[in-house]
Amino acid sequence: MAFYVVQFLTGLASAASLFLVASGLSIIFGVTRIVNFAHGAFYMIGAYIAFTLTERFSGAFGFWGGVVVAALAVALIGVLVEMVLLRRIYHAPELFQLLGTFGLTLMVEDLVVLIWGPDDLVGRRAPGFKGAVDFFGQNIPSYDLFLIVLGPVVLGILWLLFQRTRWGVLVRAATQDRDMVAALGVNQKWLFTSVFAVGVFLAALGGALQIPRDAVHHAMDLRIIVEVFVVVVIGGLGSIVGAFVAAVLVSELNAFGILIFPKISIILVFLVMAVVLIVRPWGLFGKPEAAARKTPGLTVNPWRPLTSNERLAALAALVVAAMLPLFAGNYALTVGSEIAIFVIFAVSLHFLMSVGGLASFGHAAYFGLGAYGVAFLAKMAGLPMIVCLLLGPLLGCMGAAVFGFFAVQLSGVYFAMLTLAFAQIVWSIAFQWVGVTGGDNGILGIWPEKWAASPSHFYWLALGVAALVTIALRIAVFSPFGYALRATRDSVLRSEAVGINAKRIQWTAFVIAGTTAGIGGALFAYLKGSVFPDNLGISLSVDALVMVLLGGVETVSGAVIGAIVYKALNIWLVSQTDLSKLVLGGFIVLIVVVFPKGIVGMLEILAQRRRKSSPPGSSLLAKPIESAE
Amino acid sequence: MKLTVEGLNSHYGPAHILFDIGFDVGEGEVVALLGRNGAGKSTTFRSIVGLVAQRSGRIMFEGKDVSAKPTHEIVRDGLGYVPEERRIFTDLTVEENLEVGRQPKRPNAPHWTREKLFALFPNLGEMKNRPGGRMSGGEQQMLTIARTLMGNPSLVLLDEPSEGLSPKIVEQMVDAILTMKKEGVSIVVSEQNLHFARLISDRAYIIERGRICFGGTMAELDARPDIRDAHLSL
């Protein structure tokens, strides 16, 4: 019995940091409507700076002072970020905000390694809380007891701040109606900045307070942000009480999950989240949101099928690509195969996010599942390559069917957070379930059969599949199903009013996109000869998002161009610099702020300008229509 | 002149809404902006306080051009705005709603306190701690005016204050507006209801399809039944 009580208390102690970070995220979202992906990065910087300060200054004052100063310093960094970056993207669609702050996260990951080195840093114990308390023969660290008390205290302070101060009243008012607050003479800019500062302070404090419990390392940002997303999805985005209750719930589930499913403890959290989403899609303490801004929607250009000339041009480009083996060497062909595979991956995400308006932040899960599917079939069942290629993607299909069912219950940022959390869960299973997946060592030795073994043959295979997939999805865009899907994207209510079952259409799109990604993953497994948990990781999911964005979210086939340019750039960059995340992150931020329409989108605008200047008749069609809001 | 609007043009996306709107308001005057639904009354007000992004023209308030300023600065200069949709903060109590509107005292404008406002709108004083979301339409209308007055404005843009209210509440509204006028607040009130406008206004402008098509005293308007019948539904 005492053991379970101790386990419970450990869970409560873990909840404290989680609550601090999650409440900060919630507060920021409430007012600015931005889901701050960089929140985990601020948590991590808080831990690193607190580590440095507490090492430098000794004694109780050095420790506690260091923790608070670290949080304040990070809040200051947050203010700079808000003023320089976020102020430019407050009116952008939410996808751009998520991506922009994700780019920032990538940059921070490389920066902390540059400053503090790649090794884990073990911090000091907290003065006054070094020992443990005996509880019926079980030890409870006294620092844990401190954290258990701290959680409710912070909750109380936040409650007072929001209920009893003018600033709190203004923040609550702005959460409901930002423009009206401005129309009453309040400077929104500084209100936003101060809210962001408070939110970042909480995240950094959460990180700083972790140093006596956990080593500081440069991947702690992603781990916490996924947990925080789960917490706010369960608790309800924008609710501080919800963040507290859900943080406790998730921490306890983690603490006891280990006892029930030692290998895959995260399953328990997933099951609870699934139940909450079915019963209350907006979280335990959240409120149903009004329809969110649409993901694509800077402008809406009418989509049309290719003209016959354009078809010829596309065919010519394909023929030229198919001639690559005539003059390129093996390395170039392998790169070519990889690019073709990523074209498949990118168009599958594009189908979901541009056609369906559902921006998934965890699309790599289905890519990776396809790869694992092939690995299981080839290594365990010993099936021939053709059969593996045909059946492997079905694992991606099944994953998409299960997760997609829950994900399409939500939309907008909730959808993005949920898909990310699902992907991370799949990753954890691949990583933890060593007996089946090989864990971190992956599954090796998946080589293509003779007919596809040579680089040129494999290249033709990948290119051919990529072309077929792209054509098939294009046909789907202009099919009745595509019309229905686009209708649900543009207005769920209106599409339901004309008899479209929106959820089912979106679920189908999710499954199609997941299966297609799985096809890419299946080829990828054969290209690399192995599968690893990274094939399902967040960074791969974000690669896909950047490809779509780079090509142009609002275009029909920009993703193809985006995938080619981005992947080539990426491969080149990794060979040139160790700081690829820093460069890549900066690149993402740049696209979001300066080129939100992507390459193909820019080309379309240029083409339209030219068209507009010659025949003056069709100016109405060529003019971008502002998203109706 | 307290407020002078000249050559105001506004667009929503590709749609041109206001065409060269021009009018003025004298110190302590109550001016009605009359017009049918969709004539451009609300857009005129929203443009003046900077809530419409695409706008051009000159907006002189107390002798200074405010057209380049952001919304909150225009409001802080003493130009209050009461939106048609009321836009009460439904999660906040009456007192908290008033707190959001509170601004420092202004030398050239009457100073409003909670107590003074509760005297002006006795209903509000009886429900200080009620959330805005659990109030009737009339109570919300009173609260939205009181909230703007907490900013001590010297001029208020009142967008359709009588809309959807019961006759008894409309009477209270007339009294409140006349009290505001007596205290020295200049007022521009947009209305579809000519009878209501006549009770409170010194002068009137008629707006139709985004253009001002009449301007004059109430007596001058009464002398031109043709204009009245062409542009206003009675």
Closest CA to B124 of B150, B146, B151, B102: B146
Contact B140, B64 (CB under 8 A): no
Q: Is A87 on the interface with B (CB under 8 A)?
A: no
Residue type present at position A15: A
Q: What are phi and psi of A249, to 5 degrees?
A: -60, -50
Helix (H, G, I), strand (E, B) or coil at B159: strand
User: Residue A313: pLDDT above 80?
Assistant: yes
The whole-angstrom distance between B15's CA and the closest CA on chain A is: 10
Average pLDDT, chain B: 92
- The answer to whether A165 contacts chain B (CB < 8 Å) is no
Closest to B233 measured CA to CA, from B33, B31, B18, B37: B37
> How does pLDDT run across A236-292, given as a tens digit for each residue?
888 899 999 999 999 999 888 888 777 666 677 877 887 887 788 788 988 776 544
Beta-carbon separation of B148 and A626 below 8 A = no
pLDDT at A292: 47
pTM strictly above 0.90: no
pLDDT value of position A44: 97
Mutate to test the interface with B, among A31, A165, A180 (most CBs of B within 10 A): A180
Using a CB-CB cut-off of 8 Å, the residues of chain B touching A187 are: 72-73
Sign of CA dihedral A466, A467, A472, A475: positive
Report CB contact under 8 Å: B101, A169.
no
DSSP annotation string for A369-388: HHHHHHHIIIIII---HHHH
Of the candidates A169, A175, A180, the beta carbon closest to that of B99 is on A169
pLDDT value of position A373 = 94
Tell if the CB–CB gap between B13 and A170 is shorter than 8 Å: no
Indicate the pLDDT class of residue A302, thresholds 50, 70 and 90: low
What is the predicted pLDDT for the residue at A505?
A: 95
The mean per-residue pLDDT over the stretch A9-23 comes to 93
DSSP code per residue over A253-305: HHHHHHHH-SS-THHHHHHHHHHHHHH-TT-SS--PPPPPPPSS-SEEPPP-P
Q: Is the pLDDT of residue A538 over 70?
A: yes
CB contact under 8 A, B148 and A181: no
Segment among A177-191, A298-312, B102-116 with least mean pLDDT: A298-312
DSSP percent split of chain B into helix, strand, coil, nearest 5: 35, 30, 35
At A297, is the pLDDT very low, low, confident or very high (cuts 50, 70, 90)? very low
Give me the amino acid identity at A44: M
Q: Which residue has the higher pLDDT, A93 or A309?
A: A309
What pLDDT, on a 0 to 100 scale, did the predictor assign at position A619?
Answer: 35
Share of chain A above pLDDT 70, in %: 94
3-state secondary structure of A239: coil
Q: Is B151 within 8 Å of A170 when comparing Cβ atoms? A: no
Contact A535, A371 (CB under 8 A): yes
Asked if A184 lies within 8 A of B51 by C-beta distance, the reply is no
**CA nearest to B157, candidates B193, B179, B187, B184:** B187
DSSP conformational letter for B205: E
Question: Does residue A81 carry a pLDDT above 60?
Answer: yes
Per-residue pLDDT of chain B (234 residues; tens, 9 = 90+): 899 999 999 998 888 999 999 999 999 999 999 998 889 999 999 999 999 988 999 999 999 999 999 999 999 999 999 999 889 999 999 999 999 999 999 988 999 999 999 999 999 999 999 999 999 999 999 999 999 999 999 999 999 998 888 999 999 999 999 999 999 999 999 998 888 999 999 999 999 999 999 999 998 998 888 888 888 865
pLDDT at A289: 64
Strands B30-34 and B54-61: unpaired
B156 contacts on A by Cβ (under 8 Å) = none
What is the C-alpha separation between A451 and A619, in angstroms, rounded?
Answer: 54
How many other C-beta atoms can be found within 10 angstroms of the C-beta atom of residue A577?
13
Three-state secondary structure of A170-227: HHHHHHHCHHHHHCCCCCHHHHHHHHHHHHHHHHHHHHHCCCCCCCECCCHHHHHHHH
CA dihedral (B74, B78, B82, B88) positive or negative: positive
Query: In chain B, positions 135-164, which contact chain A (CB-CB < 8 Å)?
Result: 147-148, 151
Asked whether the predicted pLDDT for residue A179 surpasses 60, the reply is yes
* A603 token code pair: 């080309």
B14 touches chain A (CB under 8 A): yes
List, for residues A403-436, the tens digit of each pLDDT value. 999 899 888 878 888 898 888 889 888 988 888 8
Q: Which pLDDT score, from 0 to 100, does residue A290 have?
A: 56
pLDDT at B17: 93
Banded pLDDT at A301 (limits 50, 70, 90): low
Distance between B70 CA and the closest CA of chain A, angstroms: 9
Average pLDDT, chain A: 87
The reply to whether A629 touches chain B by the CB within 8 Å rule is: no
The answer to whether the CB of B180 falls within 8 A of the CB of B149 is yes
What are the tens digits of pLDDT across the range A141-153? Answer: 899 999 999 999 9
- Output the CA angle A271-A275-A281, nearest 5 degrees: 130
Residue A63: which of A130, A139, A155 has the closest Cα?
A130
* A626 pLDDT tier (thresholds 50, 70, 90): very low
pLDDT beyond 50 at A196: yes
* Block residue for tokens 């609007």: B5
Please compute the mean of the pLDDT values over residues A17-23 and round it to a whole number: 94
Interface check B95 vs A, CB under 8 A: no
Is A625 within 8 Å of chain B by CB? yes
In degrees and rounded to multiples of 5, residue B34 shows phi and psi of -100, 145
Residues 6+ apart with CB under 8 A from A89: A34, A96, A97, A100, A592, A593
pLDDT-derived band at A624 (thresholds 50, 70, 90) equals very low
The C-alpha atoms of residue A553 and residue A489 are separated, in whole angstroms, by 13
Interface test with A, best of B61, B71, B129 (most A CBs within 10 A): B71
Q: A337 falls in which pLDDT band (50, 70, 90)?
A: very high
Whether residue A211 contacts residue A124, with contact meaning beta carbons closer than 8 Å, is answered with yes
Q: Output the six-digit token pair for B170.
A: 């409309």
d(CA A623, CA A406): 38
Please give the pLDDT value at position A610: 75
As a whole number of angstroms, the distance between CA A221 and CA A523 comes to 31
SS3 of residue B155 by DSSP: strand
Cβ neighbours of B12 in A, within 8 Å:
626
Contact at 8 Å (CB) between A528 and A372? no
Per the CB < 8 A criterion, the answer to whether A20 and A203 are in contact is yes
Amino acid at A542: V
Q: Using 50, 70 and 90 to split pLDDT, how confident is the model at A616?
A: very low
Interface of B with A in 159-218 (CB under 8 A): none
Judging contacts by C-beta atoms under 8 Å, the chain A residues touching residue B52 are: none
Chain A contact present for B99, CB below 8 A: yes
pLDDT at A263: 66
Q: Given pLDDT bands bounded at 50, 70 and 90, which one contains residue A613?
A: low
Question: Residue A3's pLDDT band (boundaries 50, 70, 90)?
Answer: confident
Q: What residues does B54 pair with on adjacent strands? A: B11
**Contact assignment for B83 to A183 by CB distance below 8 Å:** yes
Question: Is the Cβ of A166 closer than 8 Å to some Cβ of chain B?
Answer: yes
